[in-house]
Amino acid sequence: MLDMQHETFLRFSNGRAKAFTLSYDDGVAADKRLLKILDSYGVKCTFNLNSGVFPDKGLHNRMDEREALDAFKNCRHEIALHGHRHLYLTKVSKVQAAQEIVANREYLESRYERLVCGMAYAYGATNAEICDVLRSLGVHYARTTYSTGKFDLPSDFLRWDPTCHHTDAHLQEIAQRFVATSPLDERKARESYLFYVWGHSYEFDDNNNWHIITDLLDVVGSRDEVWYAANGEICDYVNAYRSLQWGIEDQLVYNPTCTELWVERDKKLYCIPAGATVHFDI
Ligand SMILES: [Zn+2]
């Protein structure tokens, strides 16, 4: 019946309505301490690495090549692009911008032996032309430095605005809101929550405030209702969800991807296995 109205909402891995992710830039020595903290809370992070500026010990104590490989090669977190030389991509030619990404990808993929398709913009600098360059080079997502203060998923992953930086004056308030409220308690606005925090770990050393990250993870870490995922896992999951194929009457849905997907429809949770077609009973 075409006049039947059904509202469907994305649910994350295993049907969860909330996800939490982190993004830390520049590959600095303080990342080693951050890794230990993140692992003790079971959360996941994306580390955005340059490839043509090591070591520059004068600048925020960047790791050299060996240290960075030791820290990240076999870690459970994601590594992503941050430009070969940390240039403002909007201040160089398109060709140079493309070279920044290609050289960065070549280096990271060969040394770390994994696909590297995510990115954080150096200085947050981007525009429509840079997004075109990234798209043509197979970059799936790129993080800006514009804080939304919200838990929304991005409509365009090449302009992925985080919730906030870890120095945001409202960080604790936002974290409390993330755990104390739920889309499942809403009547209409039942969109899943994504809480996305970014920063540089050297800021914790420079300002002697490592408690910021442990205070945050005391609130948001180790919770069954939250999916802890790296940026790329969230991007892949949401892109898979967005490629679900719906029947004309909204009763059938086909999952053409290799990812198990979860949908909430009329307040009921459904799993749509990889490659399966599901018929809704309402
Ligand atoms: Zn940076």
Question: What spacing in Å lies between the alpha carbon of 223 and ligand 1's midpoint?
Answer: 30
* Residue 281 falls inside a structural domain: no
Question: What spacing in Å lies between the alpha carbon of 247 and ligand 1's midpoint?
Answer: 45
Question: What spacing in Å lies between the alpha carbon of 122 and ligand 1's midpoint?
Answer: 5
Q: Are 24 and 48 in contact (CB under 8 A)?
A: yes
Which residue in this structure is represented by tokens 């490629």?
243
Question: What spacing in Å lies between the alpha carbon of 58 and ligand 1's midpoint?
Answer: 15
C-alpha pair distances (Å), 174 with each of 9, 147, 163, 171, 177:
22, 12, 9, 5, 5
Question: What spacing in Å lies between the alpha carbon of 175 and ligand 1's midpoint?
Answer: 24
Pairing state of beta strands 18-25 and 8-11? unpaired
* Residue 250 falls inside a structural domain: no
pTM above 0.75, yes or no: yes
Determine the residue type at 102: V
Question: What spacing in Å lies between the alpha carbon of 125 and ligand 1's midpoint?
Answer: 11
CATH number at residue 51: 3.20.20.370
Token pair of 111 as six digits: 């040394």
Question: What spacing in Å lies between the alpha carbon of 142 and ligand 1's midpoint?
Answer: 13
Tell me if residue 186 falls in helix, strand or coil: coil
Tell me if residue 5 falls in helix, strand or coil: coil
* Residue 233 falls inside a structural domain: yes
Question: What spacing in Å lies between the alpha carbon of 86 and ligand 1's midpoint?
Answer: 6
Q: What is the pLDDT of residue 56?
A: 60
Residues 249-262: tens digit of each pLDDT: 878 999 999 999 99
What is the average per-residue pLDDT within 47-71?
87
Question: What spacing in Å lies between the alpha carbon of 218 and ligand 1's midpoint?
Answer: 27
Q: What is the mean pLDDT of the chain?
A: 95
Token pair of 159 as six digits: 């302009």
Question: What spacing in Å lies between the alpha carbon of 271 and ligand 1's midpoint?
Answer: 39
Residues 102-124: tens digit of each pLDDT: 999 999 999 999 999 999 999 99
If phi > 0 it is left, if psi is from -120 to 50 it is alpha, else beta; for residue 15 that is left
* Residue 207 falls inside a structural domain: yes
The residue count of the chain comes to 282
Question: What spacing in Å lies between the alpha carbon of 200 and ligand 1's midpoint?
Answer: 8
Q: What is the pLDDT of residue 203?
A: 97
Tell me if residue 86 falls in helix, strand or coil: coil
Question: What spacing in Å lies between the alpha carbon of 82 and ligand 1's midpoint?
Answer: 7
Look at residue 4 and tell me whether its pLDDT is greater than 80: no
CA 16 to chain centre: 16
Please count the other Cβ atoms lying within 10 Å of the Cβ belonging to residue 144. Answer: 19
* Residue 53 falls inside a structural domain: yes
Question: What spacing in Å lies between the alpha carbon of 89 and ligand 1's midpoint?
Answer: 12
Question: What spacing in Å lies between the alpha carbon of 162 and ligand 1's midpoint?
Answer: 15
Look at residue 53 and tell me whether its pLDDT is greater than 90: no
How many domains, the chain?
A: 1
Helix (H) or strand (E) holding 219: helix 211-220
CA distance 155 to 41: 29
Look at residue 2 and tell me whether its pLDDT is greater than 70: no
Residues 21-42: tens digit of each pLDDT: 999 999 999 999 999 999 999 9
Task: Please report which confidence band the pLDDT of residue 57 belongs to, taking 50, 70 and 90 as the band edges.
Answer: low
CA 178 to chain centre: 16
Judging by beta carbons within 10 Å of its beta carbon (0-12, 13-18, 19+), is residue 264 exposed, middle or buried? buried
CA distance 273 to 282: 19
* Residue 266 falls inside a structural domain: no
State what percent of residues in the chain have pLDDT above 70: 97
Please, what is the Cα angle at 216 between 213 and 222, to 5 degrees?
110
State what percent of residues in the chain have pLDDT above 90: 91
Look at residue 239 and tell me whether its pLDDT is greater than 70: yes
Question: What spacing in Å lies between the alpha carbon of 236 and ligand 1's midpoint?
Answer: 24
Q: Are 204 and 34 in contact (CB under 8 A)?
A: yes
* Residue 282 falls inside a structural domain: no
* Residue 70 falls inside a structural domain: yes
Could you tell me the residue range of the domain that residue 151 belongs to? 16-241
Q: How many helices (H) and strands (E) does the chain have?
A: 8, 14
Please count the other Cβ atoms lying within 10 Å of the Cβ belonging to residue 254. Answer: 15
Cis peptide preceding 55, ω within 30 of 0: yes
Question: What spacing in Å lies between the alpha carbon of 197 and ligand 1's midpoint?
Answer: 15
Helix (H) or strand (E) holding 98: helix 94-112
Q: What is the pLDDT of residue 282?
A: 66
Looking at per-residue pLDDT, the higher value among 58 and 172 belongs to 172
Task: Please report which confidence band the pLDDT of residue 54 belongs to, taking 50, 70 and 90 as the band edges.
Answer: confident
Look at residue 217 and tell me whether its pLDDT is greater than 90: yes
